[in-house]
Structure 1
Amino acid sequence: MARKLYPLGIQTFSEIRTNDNLYIDKTAYIYRMANTDGKFIFLSRPRRFGKSLLVSTLQSYFEGRKELFKGLAIDRLEKEWTEYPVLHFDLSGGKHQEEDQLNRYLDYILKYNEHRFDIKCDAVDANVRLANLISSVYNKTGKQVVVLIDEYDAPLLDVAHQDKRLESLRYLMRNFYSPLKQCEPMLRFVFLTGITKFSQLSIFSELNNITNISMDEAYAGICGITKEELLTQMSDDIDRLAAKMSITREEAILQLTDNYDGYHFTYPSPDIFNPYSLLNCFSKEKIGAYWFGSGTPTFLIEMMRKFKVLPSSIGNIHAKLSSFDAPTENMTSIIPLLYQSGYITIKDYDKELKLYKLD
């Protein structure tokens, strides 16, 4: 049987499903998230872990595109398939920018969404335009609005080590996000993803009703590929790799585990494999340092300099739960950032001392 094409570089759910590319089914998580307590959800995961694909899947789900989900877990779970208007903001294009450039980028993504719903707005300020966009779409469609924000922290990460620049850009982004709370009655669901957690007070401006699911056991496998998914949904891929490398299936699984496994975003957690590495490995049919080779984020290097941390000293660390929740802008240690960006992970948890072991 011919294998399905791997969606390398493709982060659009509809394109993956239309082209019948390989898709690891995460839709049970989508259903749970969309039908849970609260409507404001935040998820932190490292780069190249499938956050953008998750956002795109949510968009297709809330737009009621039932045909794209045929045969997936949500097909059995969802009975209504209610269609909602969806506003999608991708902040990844706002990296490496000064304040005026970032203002122009916010103008660009707001214009795109205004155009989609044929809405005119004379206001200049991004927060006024976002509030107008939500209320106009709500009134026009008669339905609550879904807001999806991908890489919400992208404009801030590269200046995290520069206090003055961080402060001005943080103020700008806080201003942009501020209408989300006042528009709450008009919103069906709000989802934000990013790598780090900038504190709710500074970024979300009183958005104290957001649920952070980043370390929730129920969502441990929402991004990345679990060992179970690898062995079932990618079983043929393992066999092809083993044949190419002239090794047994068991040896192939062992090599894949040694190289790409070991991510845990809570405790206990299933073993999570890096999806970018796995897909590249199966595509190229050889083991390689794909995720690491795709580049080390500048912000991490700068923060390591700021905290005077050498790569050789990273590892075998113990941390309290509160360490993971430390706001990026007033961190006293680089541990949360190393964890959030995927360079160290949870290895164990001491219930008595309430300490996580990281390595």
Structure 2
Amino acid sequence: MAGNIAIGIQDFSTIIQGNYFYIDKTPFIKEWWDCGDSATLITRPRRFGKTLTMSMVEQFFSIDYAGRSDLFEHLAIWKEEKYRNLQGTYPVISLSFANIKEPTYELTRQKICQLLSKLYTEHVYILESGILRGSDITFFQRMLTTSENMNDVDATLALYQLSSFLYQYYGKKKVIILLDEYDTPIQEAFVDGYWDQLVCFTRSLFNSTFKTNPWLERGIMTGITRVSRESIFSDLNNLKVVTTTSDEYATAFGFTEEEVFDALDRFQVGEEKEKVKLWYDGFIFGNHKDIYNPWSILNFIDTKTFQAFWANTSANSLVGKLIREAGHSIKEQFELLLHGESIRSVIDEQIVYNQLNGSERAIWSMLLASGYLKVLHYEKYDEIPEGTQPKYELALTNLEVNLMFQNMIHAWFDDAEQEYNDFINALLENDVDAMNEYMNGVALRTFSSFDTGKQPSVSKPEKFYHGFVLGLLVDLQDHYYLTSNRESGFGRYDVMIEPKQPAERDAYIIEFKVFNARREKNLEDTVETALAQIREKKYVENLVERGISKEHIHCYAFAFEGKTVLIESAADHPQNAEN
């Protein structure tokens, strides 16, 4: 359809009746119905049309939309009589957990109960019809009046019982159940620390709704992640799971490149195709490459400007938490990703939330499922030694995602923004006194951002170091190559800052050391140890080999004790200066 762009509309009928721009995704209905799966879980990153698709499915099948051929008659699904005859023939229960983002289990449970009670209010005509008897009447009435103090038994049976009531009311017609964004409260529970409580509740709810429900015709759940079967799907052995690496429904969510380029031509911005591809291409579903995020494309066509539209649609609280609190290995690999390089990791598409605090596999799997990473290549089992797991080659999805992460890293230093900026300037001006003043301010204000549970960064500042390195990368990348923990000379330096134009700028080497009370008397000793390591390991050799003279290479030692930092230059310690 060639109508105007409408941003943020997630109701199918509103788009069709308003003649707004719409790319026909009704073939999904045919593909899903022909599969015959009892319960289907489809995972896609946010803003990929999951809610609009669920609205489309509801309005195609729901009895409430019987006779609404006007919504579909110009779309692909209407070409076959078989599907025309299905329109408006099933009772449908549709609900969404998208707005359940509460800080506590109690508030989350209460909001779910309110949604369940609202469904009963919408279907109160069943109670008023007089078809219910005895305990069914009592249950229905409780659901109408007790949302704030609903007990677990009633709450977890609510959809099961409503399916029964609809089945009775519509003459033994089974029910289609649609649950959108099922994992939103689950992600919030992990971030806010009530994961175990919510798992028990949702496991019972999902089991009664999608597994032991004799009145269920078909069901669809959508979300960003596939939560591990052991967590909430342990009893749902009838669940068909479709992830980002599955071939099913590969083009049903998101726009294909052909669809995007056609839209750009239609709205007279076809000359921007290559730049649009750089910014927004990169998503891969199954074997289908060049999938674009609809939210970004629609916003670009509407504004005619290149921005990080998709990446800025939420606080990204979970992904920020994972990277900020990750160990040095993950931060080092993340540095490679920001440089445009790729990494290799085993991937497990069943997200185990209680492993996200330390497992590299779990973290990269979460970032892949959420759309921040793409798979460039993956090993097949017949290509690797028996008993080993295949590895995936991963990269940041596109420029939009890269910019989002740069903004996220900047935000880590927001509390000390002025000190951080002043430190960068002092570093480039080789002002050691100013570097000490400003770096102590940065450390004091930002160490707590890198705390992780029982071992806060005050005692283990390595997490801060690597976050700091990522910050340097973002701020200096226009004029410098920044690398960390790479080989040079006879060892591995912590940070190397190499100018892209050596004739115009100096180079810098930084070595971090934590005060060790068993070996050193004070921070001055720690500084001496770090400077001696730079000299003995000949860290400057790589820079010299690339044509940078030693007088334009500045070596610094950063010594940490708690939140106190001491920075000194090799130039002020002749015994440790390079010969």
State the Cα distance separating 1:94 from its structure 2 match.
Answer: 1.2
Give the alignment of 1:218-237 within 5 angstroms: 218-237=248-267
CA contact (8 A) 1:96 1:155 kept: yes
Give the alignment of 1:164-203 within 5 angstroms: 165-203=194-232
1:328 aligns with 2:353: yes
User: Cα distance 1:121–1:260, how it changes in 2: closer, same or farther (>3 A)?
Assistant: same
CA contact (8 A) 1:159 1:299 kept: no
Give the alignment of 1:1-359 within 5 angstroms: 4-63=3-62, 64=66, 65-77=68-80, 78-82=83-87, 83-118=89-124, 119=127, 120-122=140-142, 124=150, 125-141=154-170, 142-161=172-191, 165-214=194-243, 215-237=245-267, 240-242=268-270, 249=271, 252-266=272-286, 268-308=287-327, 309-310=330-331, 311-314=334-337, 316-320=342-346, 323-331=348-356, 332-333=359-360, 334-351=363-380, 352-353=383-384, 354-359=390-395
CA distance in 2, matches of 1:19, 1:165: 42
Please list the CA deviations of residues 258-295 of structure 1 after superposition, one character each: whole Å capped at 9, or x if unmatched: 111110022x2131011111100000012222112334
Q: Which amino acid aligns with 1:338?
A: L
CA contact (8 A) 2:28 2:252 kept: yes
Q: Secondary structure at the match of 1:152?
A: coil
CA distance in 1, matches of 2:264, 2:17: 19
Q: Which moved more, 1:181-190 or 1:47-56?
A: 181-190
User: Cα distance 1:3–1:23, how it changes in 2: closer, same or farther (>3 A)?
Assistant: closer
CA distance in 1, matches of 2:118, 2:228: 28
Aligned length: 345
Give the TM-score, by structure 2 length.
Answer: 0.56
Q: Which moved more, 1:3-12 or 1:19-28?
A: 3-12
CA contact (8 A) 2:47 2:295 kept: yes
Q: Which runs of 5+ in 1 are unaligned?
A: 243-248
Q: Which moved more, 1:203-212 or 1:337-346?
A: 203-212
CA contact (8 A) 2:100 2:184 kept: yes
User: Cα distance 1:231–1:275, how it changes in 2: closer, same or farther (>3 A)?
Assistant: same
Q: Secondary structure at the match of 2:189?
A: coil
State the Cα distance separating 1:198 from its structure 2 match.
Answer: 1.3
Q: Which amino acid aligns with 1:196?
A: T
User: Cα distance 1:121–1:23, how it changes in 2: closer, same or farther (>3 A)?
Assistant: same
User: Cα distance 1:289–1:257, how it changes in 2: closer, same or farther (>3 A)?
Assistant: same
CA distance in 2, matches of 1:329, 1:18: 45
Q: Secondary structure at the match of 1:318?
A: strand
CA distance in 1, matches of 2:325, 2:91: 43
CA contact (8 A) 1:126 1:175 kept: no
User: Cα distance 1:189–1:203, how it changes in 2: closer, same or farther (>3 A)?
Assistant: same
Please provide the CA RMSD for this pair.
2.2
Q: Which amino acid aligns with 1:122?
A: R
CA contact (8 A) 1:220 1:270 kept: no
Give the TM-score, by structure 1 length.
Answer: 0.89
CA contact (8 A) 1:350 1:356 kept: yes
CA distance in 2, matches of 1:90, 1:75: 27
Q: Which amino acid aligns with 2:249?
A: Y
Please list the CA deviations of residues 94-125 of structure 1 after superposition, one character each: whole Å capped at 9, or x if unmatched: 11242221222122211221122214342633
Q: Which amino acid aligns with 1:224?
A: G
CA distance in 2, matches of 1:49, 1:122: 37
Q: Which runs of 5+ in 2 are unaligned?
A: 128-139, 144-149, 385-389, 396-579
Q: Which moved more, 1:38-47 or 1:210-219?
A: 210-219
Q: Which amino acid aligns with 1:324?
A: E
State the Cα distance separating 1:161 from its structure 2 match.
Answer: 4.6
Q: Which moved more, 1:174-183 or 1:254-263?
A: 174-183
Q: Relative contact order: is structure 1 or structure 2 higher (C-alpha 8 Å, sep ≥ 6)?
A: 1
CA contact (8 A) 2:228 2:352 kept: yes
Percent identical pairs in the alignment equals 27
2:561 alignment counterpart: none
Q: Secondary structure at the match of 2:42?
A: strand
